[in-house]
Amino acid sequence: MAITEIIPGLEGVPIAESAISRVDGQRSLLEYRGLSIETLAEHSTFEETCYMLLYGKLPTRTELSDFAADGTRHRRLKYRIVDLLKCLPEHGHPMEALQAAVAAIGMFYPDRYNPNAAQKRLSCLRLIEKVPVVVASFHRLRNGDDNVVPRRDLNIAGNFLYMLTGNEPDPQATRILDICMILHAEHTMNASTFAGRVVASTLAHPYCVVSSALGALSGPLHGGANEQVLQMLERIGSPENARAALARMVETKEKIMGFGHRVYKTVDPRAKILKKYAEDLCRRSGNKLYDIAAKVEEVASEVLSDRGICPNVDFYSGLVYAELGIPRDCFTSVFAMARVVGWLAHWLEQIENNRIFRPTQRYVGKVGDAYVPIADRR
């Protein structure tokens, strides 16, 4: 079948059938396996959400405790991966370190190409558990701090906060990070998931799938936006400056970071949940950036919402992460710590019914050009 029309950014083009998650951009709706994101944020845990995304159903008590306990066995990094992290430049971006480490981690597992159910489960557990450990370890090592040995008695969010700071994690902070991870775990056919599915379709192994998806997530139009939101809020400086700053940005067609979405034409449901946590945390600590953010949202809504440009997940996530003590340049890696499970669910789904992605192009270059010898070229 020849389709000749080019759809920029593949907007509205379905590239796979998927039973993992669903977005309704007009109704501010996101569901994982049929369960609303609001319900999951209130009642689930990141570990339970991981199980459900990978296996398509909520686990029984035993299935969940086995899954979570098995996972904790895979937290430790090979000492050579720690050595690799030590060798990376401390000014390198944590997403670059994470992408390099995930690609390298795969090399330690000869079973990585084996598609039987047990090996698939192992690969998923290793990636879900090791990604947060890599993020925390790289951060400590680049600051000249000792690496902290992961603990098995904490959940993924708690162990991450523990390893990042070396201190006993606060239960409330752990739960908020757990909720953030639920909210970021999966989001239909976004750019990084598509990148991962393309790589999966070549039957590359899951470490390769995840490292490719990490590269896609790192860009400022995707997972990198949350870092930039805080920079923008700081640049605006006060709620009183918001209106003039936004008018300037709209006039010069500068994008407002944390706003707009290919699918949501109303507020992203994840942004509504994160806004509440951002407000609570900032009020308690006296962080004025929340007031600037709220004013930016108010003014931007007046100017842009009739064009369907509304706050997305990244508008408030950075504020929450900053309040949890997460360094700003680690925000996208924290997003990745959660999204790794979505990528893996899509990897499993893709290889279940695979055909390699091989789209086409419309050639617009020269045809049949003459080769001019180098001496005759001007």
Ligand X SMILES: CC(C)(COP(=O)(O)OP(=O)(O)OC[C@H]1O[C@@H](n2cnc3c(N)ncnc32)[C@H](O)[C@@H]1OP(=O)(O)O)[C@@H](O)C(=O)NCCC(=O)NCCS
Q: Measured from the CB of residue 54, what is the shortest distance to ligand X in angstroms?
A: 23
What is the set of active-site residues? 261, 314
332 lies in the binding site for ligand X (CB under 6 A): no
313 lies in the binding site for ligand X (CB under 6 A): yes
Which of the ranges 53-61, 196-204, 310-318, 329-337 carries the binding residues for ligand X, by CB under 6 A? 310-318
269 lies in the binding site for ligand X (CB under 6 A): no
Which of the ranges 30-38, 166-174, 199-207, 248-256 carries the binding residues for ligand X, by CB under 6 A? 248-256
Which of the ranges 99-107, 122-130, 197-205, 260-268 carries the binding residues for ligand X, by CB under 6 A? 260-268
227 lies in the binding site for ligand X (CB under 6 A): no
9 lies in the binding site for ligand X (CB under 6 A): yes
DSSP collapsed to 3 states, the chain: CCCCCCCHHHCCCCCCCCCCEEEECCCCEEEECCEEHHHHHHHCCHHHHHHHHHHCCCCCHHHHHHHHHHHHCCCCCCHHHHHHHHHCCCCCCHHHHHHHHHHHHHCCCHHHHCCCHHHHHHHHHHHHHHHHHHHHHHHHHHCCCCCCCCCCCCCHHHHHHHHHHCCCCCHHHHHHHHHHHHHHCCCCCCHHHHHHHHHHHCCCCHHHHHHHHHHHHCCCCCCCHHHHHHHHHHHHCCHHHHHHHHHHHHHCCCCCCCECCCCCCCCCHHHHHHHHHHHHHHHHHCCCHHHHHHHHHHHHHHHHHHHCCCECHHHHHHHHHHHCCCCHHHHHHHHHHHHHHHHHHHHHHHHHCCCCCCCCCCCCCCCCCCCCCHHHCC
Q: Measured from the CB of residue 184, what is the shortest distance to ligand X in angstroms?
A: 10
261 lies in the binding site for ligand X (CB under 6 A): yes
272 lies in the binding site for ligand X (CB under 6 A): no
Sketch the per residue contact string, 87 through 126, with ligand X: x for CB under 6 A, - otherwise. ----------------------------------------
Residues that bind ligand X (CB under 6 A): 9, 221, 225, 253, 255-262, 309, 312-314
